[in-house]
């Protein structure tokens, strides 16, 4: 017997909410993300310089090369060696925590909808707890545990904590789906 993704609306929703709260705990209560962000030395001078330069909202890299050929110039190589090097994201305004939290919840629900769809393609309604947990949990780890690896590789973002979070989120998702899979109700 096949399972429809629509039959899984409750585990999709419950796991989305559970991941929202797990994410909240990871970022506000648990210590593993605490050291990832620090203030700038002489923050007032840096923010004043950004204001004085009238830097509009956007993503910036410094030093910046407009084309691959610019990377090859001696001037650019010297700027890279002299430093500092980095990236900067300037927001249009202060973050709207309510909107960001709603978007986070929506992300988890949509991602779990897609994971549920994959599960319906791979698992029968009679799948065991362990089969469901393994498949959905693995899909969850792939979804949540690898999401920021490329940002770490290319932009220097610390990613170990994100990978750990992703493993936990995948486990939570797998557990909820395994407990609520159609065979569990039988």
pLDDT per position as a tens digit, 16-65:
999 999 999 998 898 888 888 888 899 999 999 999 999 999 999 999 99
Contact 104, 27 (CB under 8 A): no
Q: How confident is the model at residue 186 (pLDDT cuts 50, 70, 90)?
A: low
Task: Please write the tens of the pLDDT for every residue from 144-176.
Answer: 999 889 988 888 888 899 999 999 999 999 999
pLDDT (0 to 100) of residue 34: 85
**What contacts 51, CB < 8 A, 6 or more positions away?**
none
Spatial distance between the Cα atoms of 76 and 54, rounded to a whole number of angstroms: 24
H or E stretch covering 107: helix 97-122
Residue 185 above 80 pLDDT?
Answer: no
Task: Please write the tens of the pLDDT for every residue from 100-129.
Answer: 999 999 999 999 999 999 999 999 999 999
pLDDT (0 to 100) of residue 1: 63
Q: pTM, whole model, 2 decimals?
A: 0.85
Contact 145, 169 (CB under 8 A): yes
Spatial distance between the Cα atoms of 133 and 141, rounded to a whole number of angstroms: 12
């Amino acid at each position: 017997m096949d399972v429809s993704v629509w039959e899984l609306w409750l585990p999709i929703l419950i796991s989305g909410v559970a991941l929202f709260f797990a994410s909240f705990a990871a970022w506000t209560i648990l210590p593993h993300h605490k050291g990832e962000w620090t203030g700038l030395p002489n923050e007032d001078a840096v923010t004043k310089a950004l204001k004085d330069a009238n830097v509009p909202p956007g993503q910036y890299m410094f030093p910046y090369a407009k084309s691959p050929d610019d990377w090859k110039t001696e001037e650019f190589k010297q700027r890279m060696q002299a430093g500092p090097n980095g990236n900067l994201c300037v927001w249009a305004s202060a973050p709207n925590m309510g909107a960001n939290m709603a978007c986070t919840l929506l992300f988890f629900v949509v991602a779990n909808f897609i994971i549920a769809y994959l599960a319906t393609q791979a698992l029968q309604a009679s799948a065991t707890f362990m089969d469901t947990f393994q498949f959905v949990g693995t899909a969850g780890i792939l979804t949540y545990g690898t999401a920021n690896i490329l940002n770490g590789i290319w932009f220097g973002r610390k990613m170990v904590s994100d990978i750990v979070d992703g493993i936990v989120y995948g486990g939570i998702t797998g557990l909820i789906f395994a407990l609520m899979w159609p065979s569990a109700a039988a």
